[in-house]
Amino acid sequence: MQAKVAIIGAGISGLACALHLAQRGNDVTIWEYRKREELTPASARAVSLDISARGIYALKHIGLFDQQVKKYGVQMTHKIFHDRNGQLTKIPYGPTDKHYILALSRNYLFEILLDAASKLSNIQINFLCKLEQINFTKAELIIRNLANNKIFHEKPNIIIGADGINSLARAAFEKYTGLCFSSTPMPQAYKEISIPKEMGLSLELNATLLWSRNELMLVAQPNPDHSFMCALLMPREGADLSFESIRTKDELENLFQANFNDVRALMPNLHTEYQQRKVGFLRILQGQSWVCEGKFVLIGDAAHGMVPFFGQGVNCCFEDCTVLDQCLNESNDHWPTALLLFNQRRVINGNAISSMSFSNYPELLQRNLFQQVLLKKQIETKITKVFRSEYISYHNLVCFHRVPYVYALACKKLQEPMLDRLASRIEHVDDLDWTLVEQEVQSYQKQLNCDYLKN
């Protein structure tokens, strides 16, 4: 049956979910506590998002990718590591240039989704409306209108919590069910720094650019006009080197001259942006269940939080929407059955990608291990090209395929030891013993078939 659906949160996840459900004929009301203007490009975070296979599929499903989203993004086919000596190492994302990740401004994506949702008569968006309470047994919402401070009650058939990492809907769910989510803060944090287009012309456009410096990292992603948005990552606090300790103009200048000297001249607004922009905090969020009473479900960052080093945050959010849509198809729009299926499929996969994002996080920052990490990536690139049907890297499974995240995690657990063994025998990728590589790939296939089938 068609339902009256309330979605808490008018961010990217909430809007994408609303579009999926409205296109099925449901009546959708979105409740957002912020003002409309607080969600516009001028105030929202400007850092780019990585849109890959799962996100592209969802955007195509709601008719927004080919004609709108794609033209605002940059197709990144590889990443480039910049070392302290100015040497560049290029690592392709996939086995061919057809495999790309779309770098897209969060602001552009939000505006595209909001515009599409605003055009549908069965989607209503209410701003300045804060969730106060949820009655889970009755599927009733208590909402406060922040403009006039009035309280009112809404009784939809289904409630969807899509209000982000600091979700009020999740807090109400935890209180009612006693099923608490684990929230693990990361020691690293980030700030955004821009490279204007006139400065970015000297940098390669179709790539993610990385400067990895022990406990520091600078990541730059392109915009279509050849400007770049960068994320400076370093510890949140600490006396030696952290956002807490780097406060003055001279301290910041010394930090960049010592670690990112080759890109410093491309950042004319470094000091101003560093002082004005807030520190972004990172954490991992995982839960045991996302549904309640057959009438409530969490999606997006409200259900699964991850660090951005795998670029799957928005893709996982969008895949929540497509999987929910699929579950509704399979259950003939019987919501309690659909939510049960959704919970069975998505919780385990949401936790899997959160774990993978965390394990991808330290390898780029650990002291004295970066060259070994780089060697393993080069080895894997060679193996992927030679054994295309036998070996797909877990990274490619995550980014360019739509297999369950748990399957990609099972592959990762076998691939990493294999790459460690191969890398331990050589100093350069051209020294690979291909007889040994073939043996390793055959062994990998046998183990994967056995271990994954057991699960």
Integer Cα distance of 430 and 440 in angstroms = 17
Query: Is residue 267 within 8 Å of 211, Cβ to Cβ?
Result: no
Token reading at 455: 């699960």
Grouping H, G, I as helix, E, B as strand and the rest as coil, residue 23 is coil
| pLDDT of 240 | 81
| pLDDT of 25 | 97
| pLDDT of 364 | 53
| pLDDT of 43 | 43
| 219 exposure class (CB count in 10 Å sphere: 0-12, 13-18, 19+) | buried
Cα–Cα–Cα angle for 427, 428, 431, rounded to 5 degrees = 100
For the chain, residues with pLDDT lower than 50 are 41, 43-44, 367, 453, 455
Integer Cα distance of 452 and 2 in angstroms = 38
Token reading at 116: 């599409």
| pLDDT of 238 | 86
| pLDDT of 366 | 54
| pLDDT of 214 | 79
| pLDDT of 319 | 98
Cα–Cα separations (whole angstroms), residue 347 to 27, 168, 351? 26, 19, 6
